[in-house]
Every structure is written in C-alpha cells, then in structure tokens.
Amino acid sequence: MSTITVGQENSTPIDIYYEDHGSGKPIVLVHGWPLSGASWEKLVTDLLRAGHRVITYDRRGFGQSSKPSIGYNYDTFTDDLHTLVTKLRLRDFALVGFSMGGGEVARYFGKYGSNRVSKAVFMAAVPPFLLKTADNPEGVDGSAFEGIKAAVLADRPAFLSQFLSNFFNVDELGGKLVSDQVVQLCWNIAAGASPKGTLDCVTAFSSTDFRNDLKQIDVPTLIIHGDRDRIVPFPVSAQRMPEFVKRSKVIAIAGAPHGLNWTHASKVNPELVRFLGQ
C-alpha cells in the first residue's frame, strides 16, 4: 500500500494513502466529502485510456488514509496535497477537484501558486464561498450547515443514506443512471470515514472563503457542474466562478445531480479528457 506521512498525532503517524497509475501527463484527482479516491473510478478508467498518469489519494480521515482527530481545515488539507505532489516530483500536472476537493484546488493556488500546475478543473465544486454572509449574500444560510452537523452527530449512518439520495437525485435517476449498488458502495465508503473528520469537514467546506485563492489561478480552468445539483447548487458555485477565475470555462450538464461523475460520466468524461489533453 502506497502512503506518505504528513504529520503525527501523539504516538501515531498521519499517513495519506494514494494510488499512482499510468504514464504521460500527470492528473491529480481530489475527491469529495465524505467519500474517497475510489469515487473517481469511472474517470480514472477514461484518463488512463487517454494516456495520462493518474494520481488519486484519500484525504486525511477518509478512505484508507489515517483518521486523526486533528487537521480538518483547508490549510492542512492543502499542505497534505503539496506534500504528495512534492514527493512524487510532479511537474506540469493538472489538478481536478470534485465538490469539497475543489477547495483544495483553489487553496493550492492561493498558497503555492501555479509554478508546477498547468490546468485546473472544478467539478460540482464548493468554491467560491458557500456560506451566506454580509459580503456574500449569494451564499447558503448557515442554518443549513448547522442542520447537517446536527444530523451527523445524531445518527451519522442514517444521515449518509439521506445525503447520498440527494447526492445522486435517486428519486429521479435511481435505476436509470445510478443503481442501488452504486449508492450502497458510496455509503460503505462514507460510513468507514472518521466520524470526527466527517463532522469537522462540514465546517471547513461551508465556511472557508476561497475568493482570494481563486484570483491567483492563472492557468486554463474548466468548471463543470450539474444544473440539478441539490448538494452544491449551480447558482451559488459554478455560475459565479468566472467572476474570480478569468481563464475559465463553465459547462453546465443538463439534468445532472451532484454525483455527476458517476451518473453523467458519458457526458462529463469526454469534456475532461478533451480539456486535459489540449
């Protein structure tokens, strides 16, 4: 199993699990909450076929990475990512972030710049800033995120079932574009995550302001989002991105839910392969 050590909690090292496959131009995939790098299954297959080197990893607290009680904030997440790309000596690589993972992509440019990054992709991503505040009236009311945290604390497994139903718009797409088995697979992955990490990440992705980070992006950027996304609504996220990222292109996938990387892979993947191969 391939891991890198990114820190220490008491007597225990904090290790990040990663997979590194293929050859060619490197693509680093940053997964969403509360899943793992395994959620990139369909895209990895197509990127490998297109001749890319594909790196996936599990965020601390999720998948096969360590599950510490500390470090669930975007500065630490991004430092973990930077440690990985430094160890792998990546150059001219693309960063692709799904949902919460879009925050790491944005913060990476804010902290480390674009010296070694050639392209960026935000898929169903949380930037620019989800939380409604006085200077961000387009955001989502904080009570929604407090409700998520209360549900996680009360009965995390039950919350995950409800969350994934909305993640895939199962009432509309179940049995058509997503199977019960896929939903169950995602539940299994999410249920295995750190309970504390699952909870703390809600604060991280809802209250972190990425607007200044996005302004540092000076590479070609693709923003791809479903117009039926119930988790990160298109108007509060992707629709606003060109205001902050000048060299960006937005693609709205009609009828697609938050989990469009599975349900609409036949539409999403060709757009990504085309963009990343240019």
Cα–Cα distance for residue pair 15/156, rounded to 1 Å: 24
- Report pLDDT digits (tens) over 11-43: 999 999 999 999 999 999 999 999 999 999 999
Q: What is the b/e burial string over 99-110, where b = at least 16 CB atoms within 10 angstroms of the residue's CB? A: bbbbbbbbbbbb
Q: What is the b/e burial string over 51-62, where b = at least 16 CB atoms within 10 angstroms of the residue's CB? A: ebbbbbbbbbbb
Which of 56, 115, 50, 108 minimizes the C-alpha distance to 82? 108
Cα–Cα distance for residue pair 128/243, rounded to 1 Å: 9
The pLDDT score that the predictor gives to residue 278 is 87
pLDDT at 1 over 80: no
Residue 79: active-site member? no
User: What is the Cα Rg of the chain in Å?
Assistant: 17
Tell me the percentage of the chain whose pLDDT exceeds 70: 100
Per the residue annotation, which of 36, 39, 99, 248 is the catalytic one? Answer: 99
What average pLDDT does the segment 175-187 reach? 98
What's 246's DSSP letter? T
pLDDT at 72 over 80: yes
Q: Phi and psi of 8, rounded to 5°?
A: -150, 140
pLDDT band, very low/low/confident/very high, at 184 (cuts 50, 70, 90): very high
CATH number at 3-277 = 3.40.50.1820
The pLDDT score that the predictor gives to residue 251 is 98
- Report pLDDT digits (tens) over 48-64: 999 999 999 999 999 99
Tell me the percentage of the chain whose pLDDT exceeds 90: 99
- Report pLDDT digits (tens) over 124-144: 999 999 999 999 999 999 999
Residue 258: active-site member? yes
Per the residue annotation, which of 15, 80, 209, 229 is the catalytic one? Answer: 229
Per the residue annotation, which of 31, 52, 225, 258 is the catalytic one? Answer: 258
8 A C-beta contact, residue 178 and residue 262:
yes
8 A C-beta contact, residue 32 and residue 39:
yes
Each domain of the chain, given as residue ranges in start order, spans: 3-277
Cα–Cα distance for residue pair 246/244, rounded to 1 Å: 6
pLDDT band, very low/low/confident/very high, at 109 (cuts 50, 70, 90): very high
Q: Phi and psi of 275, rounded to 5°?
A: -65, -45
pLDDT band, very low/low/confident/very high, at 189 (cuts 50, 70, 90): very high
pLDDT at 146 over 80: yes
Q: At 136, is the secondary structure helix, strand, or coil? A: strand
Residue 229: active-site member? yes
